[in-house]
A and B are shown apart, each in its own frame.
Chain A
Amino acid sequence: MLGLVLAWWATRGRAASATHATELAVEPSQAEAASRAPAAPSQVVVSDARLAQVLAQYRHDAVYPPGSRPLDEGARYKLKWNAAIVSDLPFARGLSYHFAADRHHVTFGEPIISWIEVWQTGNEARRVPLFVRSAWVMTTSGAAQGRSVSLRYHDDGLDGDAVAGDLRYSNRLVPSEHDELRASRQVQLYADVEAAGMARPMIRDFTYAARPVLEVVHVSDELAAGSLRVTVDCEVFEPGLYTFEANLVSADDSLPIGYVDQSLPLAAGRQKVALVFFGRVLHDVGASGPYLVRDLRGFERFLDGSQANLWWAYAPTHRTRAYDVNDFSAAEWDAPEKQDKIRRLEAARSAGR
Chain B
Amino acid sequence: MRRTPVIVLALLVSLALAGEARAGNSVLHFQGRGWGSWNGEIVTQSAAWTSRTYNFSGNSRLDSADTNVVVRGAIASNCSGANNCIIVCYSAGCSRVLKAIDDLRASGNTLPGLFWIEAAGSVAGGTKLAEVATSGFTGFLAKLFGQQEAIDFDITPGAARGTWGYTQDAVPPDAMYHVAGNQDICKGFLFFKICGNQFIDAGIGDGLVGIDSASGAAAAGRYYDGCAVAKYPGRIWEPSTPCGGEARDHFGLVGRTIALLAPQINGVANDKMRVWGERLNYPDCDDAAGKCDNPASNPALDFSREPNGTLVAKDVSSATSTTTGSTAGATCAGKCGKYSGAACWCDASCATRGDCCADYTQVKCNVVNQ
Contact = CB atoms under 8 A, between A and B. Distances in A.
Contacts, number: 331
Contacts of A211: 1
Interface string A90-114: 1011000000000011000000000
A58 B69 CA distance: 28
A45 B338 contact: no
A81 B337 CA distance: 28
Nearest to A3: B108
Interface stretch (A123-131, A197-205, A215-223, A282-290): A197-205
Contacts of B160: 85
Contact of B163 (A17, A44, A104): A104
Contact of B172 (A20, A33, A61, A239): A61
Interface in A1-59: 1-2, 5-6, 9, 14-18, 20, 22-23, 25-29, 31-41, 43-47, 49-50, 53-54, 57-58
Interface string B59-81: 00101110111100110110001
B242 interface: no
Interface in B84-143: 84, 103, 105-108, 110, 112-113, 115-116, 126, 128, 131-133, 135, 137
B297 interface: no
B233 interface: yes
Contacts of A76: 218, 230
B274 interface: no
B300 interface: no
A261 interface: yes
B259 interface: no
A69 B172 contact: yes
A73 B23 contact: no
Nearest to A71: B233
Contacts of A15: 23, 82
Interface in B156-198: 156-163, 165-166, 168-169, 172-175
B359 interface: no
Contacts of B77: 20, 22-23, 26
Interface in A226-280: 238-241, 243, 245, 261, 263, 265, 267
Given A38-B22, A238-B1, 19 more contacts: A2-B108, A6-B16, A22-B76, A22-B77, A39-B24, A39-B25, A39-B47, A39-B48, A43-B48, A85-B160, A87-B128, A87-B158, A92-B135, A140-B153, A145-B347, A192-B341, A205-B156, A243-B166, A341-B112
Interface of B: 1-5, 8-9, 11-18, 20-26, 37-38, 40, 42, 44, 46-55, 61, 63-65, 67-70, 73-74, 76-77, 81-84, 103, 105-108, 110, 112-113, 115-116, 126, 128, 131-133, 135, 137, 153, 156-163, 165-166, 168-169, 172-175, 199, 218-220, 230-236, 239, 263-266, 287-288, 337-339, 341, 345, 347-350, 353, 369-370
Interface of A: 1-2, 5-6, 9, 14-18, 20, 22-23, 25-29, 31-41, 43-47, 49-50, 53-54, 57-58, 61-62, 64-66, 69, 73-78, 81, 84-87, 89-90, 92-93, 104-105, 134, 138, 140-141, 144-148, 186, 188, 190, 192, 198-201, 203-207, 211, 238-241, 243, 245, 261, 263, 265, 267, 299, 301, 303-305, 307-309, 337-338, 340-341, 344-345, 348, 351-352
